[in-house]
Amino acid sequence: MLSASELQARAKAATNVGHHERALSLLDRARARATTDDERALIEGTAGYAHLELGHLDQARRVTDDAVRLAATDDVRGIVLGQRAVVRGRTGAREEALADFADAIALLHHRPEYLGRCLLNRGTLRLRAASVRDATDDFAGALAAFAAAGL
What's the pLDDT tens digit per position in 93-150?
999 999 999 999 999 999 999 999 999 999 999 999 888 999 999 999 999 999 999 9
pTM (predicted TM-score): 0.93
Return the pLDDT at 33.
Answer: 95
Element (H, E) at 144: helix 132-148
Q: pLDDT tier at 1 (50, 70, 90 boundaries)?
A: confident
Nearest-angstrom CA–CA distance, 33 and 74? 22
Nearest-angstrom CA–CA distance, 48 and 53? 9
Nearest-angstrom CA–CA distance, 49 and 106? 21
Nearest-angstrom CA–CA distance, 118 and 135? 12
Q: Write out pLDDT tens, residues 52-94.
A: 999 999 999 999 999 999 999 999 999 999 999 999 999 999 9
Nearest-angstrom CA–CA distance, 50 and 37? 20
